[in-house]
Amino acid sequence: MYQLNENYQKLPGSYLFSTIAKKVAAFTEANPDKKVIRLGIGDVTQPLAPAIIEALHKAVDEMASAETFRGYAPDLGYDFLRNAIAEHDYKAKGCDISADEIFVSDGAKSDSANIQEIFGADCRIAVTDPVYPVYVDSNVMAGRCGDYNYDTQMWSRVIYMPCTKENGFAPAFPSETPDMIYLCFPNNPTGTTITKEQLQAWVDYANKNGSVILYDAAYEAYISEDNVAHSIYECEGAKTCAIELRSFSKNAGFTGVRLGFTVVPEELKCGDVSLHAMWARRHGTKFNGAPYIVQRAGEAVYSETGKAQLKEQVAYYMKNANTIKNGLQAAGYEVFGGVNAPYIWLKTPDGMTSWDFFDYLLEKANVVGTPGSGFGPSGEGYFRLTAFGSYENTVAALERIQAL
């Protein structure tokens, strides 16, 4: 009889968003007259920018004629997109990353889950706590995380780096040396970030200790402060120790369009072995390219018109972030994030647990957020609100919270 991957059985249920959905459904059934405002899930709500819509229509028309039809895309992405990314996301920001080092994909979630495949089965991973669950779960599936302790909510082989208000949400170097270090700045879920100097210290740490950094920069478009790096390759020495994961989901509203990319520098080697070559082989074997029409939409993100329109879109969401942040502070809450990221992380009042506060906010203000404990044990006592709703809903939600 065939056997299954036993690591899957170790995974605890993924109940965070389904529990939220159930609680909200029960509440709306019991209170059909109440209008619930959802500021929970990190999904965008604004339509695609006109420049992107135009590029999509144009590419669709190309697919309608034999002369301009496109079949299989190059595994690693069309040159028109890889060149645009290299030019605008890297060269324009002083990072020496070439188009050949950019791997276009169907999104950062896939990439952040798949990237662990090229590493050894015994590698130990380090993650910030709280954390985006995909980093850990994908490593559990590969057998790297040991066993789950339901009491501590921790995996025996994972190195956790707590990020709380006590350390300013900046992870300290762990006491055990990790092989693979997952960092996400600006951070999901806390909405906080670290300075360029702090990031440089992580690059130096990785180069010194023989670790690789898997750097998730999905929220870089929301950075408003000068001393925050948009890319890890702004740091000296990053090309010998870091892979960067990037997304079009939040900066261009592509959550339902699906496009992302990963940068694996040519210089990144473990002994003689090139990680760039390994990731290219992985793409060539297990992926067949992102859709042509979607890659053309991605190209439009970098056009002058596209950039102007998306700057407005980001500003729209950051106005929401500001509304939430100021509104919560006015109501007496202790609030973090929301300056360089579309997430606001608040300390629950009066020692409430994250889930107690969830129930309280749903029942009293009819507002849905995400309990911080759902992202890891150090998220207990915190709560996430997102800036991705409409401005009208965001204002209304904050008025309700302030009236509590």
In the block, tokens 């629950």 appear at 348
Structure tokens at 373: 């404990």
Pairing of strands 37-38, 148-149: unpaired
Report the C-alpha gap between 51 and 96 in whole angstroms: 28
Identify residues 171-190 at the interface with a copy of itself (CB under 8 A): 179-180
Question: Which of 186, 180, 183, 156 shows the shortest CA–CA distance to 172?
Answer: 183
- Whether omega for the bond prior to residue 371 falls within 30 degrees of 0, making it cis, is no
Report the C-alpha gap between 188 and 213 in whole angstroms: 17
Span near a copy of itself by CB under 8 A; candidates 85-93, 191-199, 250-258, 328-336? 250-258
Structure tokens at 277: 């070559």
Size of interface with a copy of itself, in residues (CB under 8 A): 77
Is there binding between residue 120 and a copy of itself (CB under 8 A)?
yes
Is there binding between residue 24 and a copy of itself (CB under 8 A)?
no
Task: Identify whether the C-beta of residue 358 lies closer than 8 Å to the C-beta of residue 383.
Answer: yes
Q: Pick from 30, 32, 33, 122 the residue near a copy of itself by CB under 8 A.
A: 122
Q: Pick from 76, 126, 293, 344 the residue near a copy of itself by CB under 8 A.
A: 293
Q: Pick from 100, 137, 356, 359 the residue near a copy of itself by CB under 8 A.
A: 137
DSSP string, 25-48: HHHHHH-TTS--EE--S----SPP
User: Within its chain, how far is the Cα of 238 from the centroid?
Assistant: 20
Tell me the per-residue interface mask from 27 to 66 with a copy of itself, x by CB under 8 A, - otherwise. Answer: --------------x-xxxxxx-x--x--xx--xx-xxxx
Q: Pick from 106, 266, 356, 359 the residue near a copy of itself by CB under 8 A.
A: 106
Q: Pick from 82, 239, 258, 276 the residue near a copy of itself by CB under 8 A.
A: 258
Helix axes 16-30, 354-365, angle to 10 degrees: 30
- Closer residue to a copy of itself in complex, CB, 205/287: 287
Tell me the per-residue interface mask from 364 to 393 with a copy of itself, x by CB under 8 A, - otherwise. Answer: --------------------------x---
Q: Pick from 24, 36, 118, 201 the residue near a copy of itself by CB under 8 A.
A: 118
242 three-state secondary structure? strand
Span near a copy of itself by CB under 8 A; candidates 155-163, 220-228, 252-260, 391-399? 252-260
User: Within its chain, how far is the Cα of 300 from the centroid?
Assistant: 22
Residues listed for the chain: 404
Q: Pick from 109, 144, 276, 347 the residue near a copy of itself by CB under 8 A.
A: 109
| Cα separation values, 328 from 81, 271, 349, 364, 382, Å | 41, 51, 11, 15, 13
Span near a copy of itself by CB under 8 A; candidates 119-127, 159-167, 186-194, 370-378? 119-127
Tell me the per-residue interface mask from 301 to 340 with a copy of itself, x by CB under 8 A, - otherwise. Answer: ----------------------------------------
- Closer residue to a copy of itself in complex, CB, 71/332: 71
CB of 65 to a copy of itself, least distance (A): 5
Task: Identify whether the C-beta of residue 82 lies closer than 8 Å to the C-beta of residue 302.
Answer: no
Identify residues 76-105 at the interface with a copy of itself (CB under 8 A): none
Task: Identify whether the C-beta of residue 118 lies closer than 8 Å to the C-beta of residue 278.
Answer: yes
Q: Pick from 16, 24, 36, 113 the residue near a copy of itself by CB under 8 A.
A: 113
Q: Pick from 27, 148, 205, 287 the residue near a copy of itself by CB under 8 A.
A: 287
Report the C-alpha gap between 204 and 216 in whole angstroms: 18
Task: Identify whether the C-beta of residue 300 lies closer than 8 Å to the C-beta of residue 54.
Answer: yes
Span near a copy of itself by CB under 8 A; candidates 68-76, 157-165, 317-325, 360-368? 68-76
